[in-house]
Structure 1
């Protein structure tokens, strides 16, 4: 039940992030460089405040406060986070929604499912069928709006997807999702001066709406959302985590209908039912990973 709730709220955060990016970048309220900078800084500040408030309650956690104190994220996770956020923003302004989603989630799937296969995670027949159906539904949803992209934008989006896949995989071994995510964002601030220096060459008209959208994208959709995702990751297989993310474009499109008054089509409704049904079928027919997670955590604690 925990895995389902964490995953659901994390996917909502991902979809919200897509909505905020679309509203800020596509509408021209801010450029990709400054959007990324504000997104990283706002996420780091938000999580630093939450960690400070949460610190006094750490001693009541199931995991010892000593163990939690040793969870400081990692440089690899932080670098992956920066690469994902920057490449996503840069590519987003040059790709339409369908093309960008196809490239991004294809890269995520290849990265995470490839890692799962490497770690000998096995899929049963029903899961393979569900996966194929979900991918087919995803293609049916996105291909009509996809156009031939420039190679540079496509490459940036592919790199972004691979980086996000790596960042997600890294979350499977974290003990304190809040601290891991918080310190990953705090470490990412070291890249801000370089990004700011480069951004000086791309200064455009930045509106207050663009700044606010970037701030909300960072603090809530990224900071809090990624913390929840890191709560879900230890409870999921890499293959499960990869497949459920195919529902993000559907959720993002629904947000677009609610907040941007976009009109749903019969194709969208059909594809959404196919994708969400297949994802549900995949998850329900997979082995639970909570017991595996508990064993991993116990082994981790013995080493301390």
Structure 2
């Protein structure tokens, strides 16, 4: 891995973790509502991606699909609603775990076989998610947790729909453009409950334009210098970065339950990925997958 690829990869992981941090910060510390945050995130992301494509004299016309856009919209809305109650670290862990597990489950459905070590890793990861959801003083709110699992499932679907696309950046821009009116429709239906303030607007725009739009562009550039296993493995850092940032910047507690669950989920997924790499089996959609 070259120094340039390493730098781009690190920036992309920071951007992905930043999405969790900005969303939680906006919904906890400002007046903006979840629907408005989602609309602004998708709209500003679409604009940033469109501008990036214009810089390379490309237009997103015809790129992407309405089905992928619907999955993107479902992810973004559930993500925002979940962060009304979840801490940044717990939310990122549930999101990441759901994305990875849904893609692994799709591979099994399509007939992929797992080695014994991979099965052990899969069971460990599922156990880690369940342990985090068990009732207790340090358990995340169940409603928020289920919404984040739904967000992860939607992003897994979105990732699988993007397998093998020739121009992932153009497709992402097209999907953001299609998803924006869906979010605006929800905002219009909930207009009576809408609220915002300048800090909330800024956080939403930063989440959409920088950590989503520019972040995805950086990730697609970094992917050119990464092997498939490296691209999959490096994303294990995202929940850890989000948890540390939440603890340092938002004063969120790093509970023992969260630490142990993170170790189980991330360690289990790492076992699955390692077993696939040794067996020469690609992870479904991994080469074209962007980050949440």
TM bracket, shorter-chain basis? 0.7 to 0.9
1:29 alignment partner in structure 2: 31
TM-score (norm 1): 0.72
RMSD: 4.0
Query: What is the rounded CA distance, in whole Å, between the counterparts of 1:138 and 1:19 in structure 2?
Result: 20
Aligned-residue offset at 1:23: 0.3
Change (3 A) 1:235 1:119: farther
Aligned positions of 1:263-282 closer than 5 A: 264=254, 272-273=262-263, 275-282=265-272
Q: Which of 76, 83, 95 matches 2:74?
A: 83
Q: 1:222 to 1:272 in 2, by over 3 A?
A: same
The structural deviation recorded for 1:129 is 2.4
Offset, 1:172: 1.7
CA separation of 1:175 and 1:86: change in aligned 2, threshold 3 A:
same
Separation of aligned partners in 1, 2:43 and 2:182: 10
**Which aligned pairs between 1:47-58 and structure 2 lie closer than 5 A?**
47-55=49-57
Question: Which residue pairs with 2:158 in the alignment?
Answer: 167
Alpha-carbon distance in 1 for matches of 2:117, 2:180? 44
**2:187–2:194 Cα contact (<8 Å) kept:** no
Q: 1:99–1:146: 8 Å Cα contact kept in structure 2?
A: no
Q: Which moved more, 1:212-221 or 1:281-290?
A: 281-290
Alignment of 1:4-43 (within 5 A): 10-43=12-45
Larger Rg: 1
Q: Which of 117, 138, 146 is residue 139 of structure 2 equivalent to? A: 146
The unaligned stretches of length 5 or more in structure 1 are 57-67, 297-304
Aligned match of 1:284: 274
Q: Is 1:216–2:218 an aligned residue pair?
A: no
Range 72-81 or range 11-20, more displaced: 11-20
**TM-aligned CA deviation for residue 165 of structure 1:** 1.2
Counterpart secondary structure, 2:142: coil
Match of 1:225 among 205, 209, 215: 215
- Correspondences of 1:100-179 after superposition (within 5 Å): 104=95, 107-140=98-131, 143=134, 145-147=138-140, 149-150=142-143, 156-179=147-170
Q: Under a length normalisation based on structure 2, what TM-score does the superposition of the two structures give?
A: 0.74
1:66-100 deviations in Å (ceiling 9; x for gaps): xx988711111111111111122123325566875
2:52 & 2:186 partners in 1: Cα distance?
A: 26
Q: Which residue of 1 aligns with 2:47?
A: 45
**CA distances 1:91-149 after superposition (whole Å, capped 9, x unpaired):** 33255668756765565355322211122222222222233334444555665532563
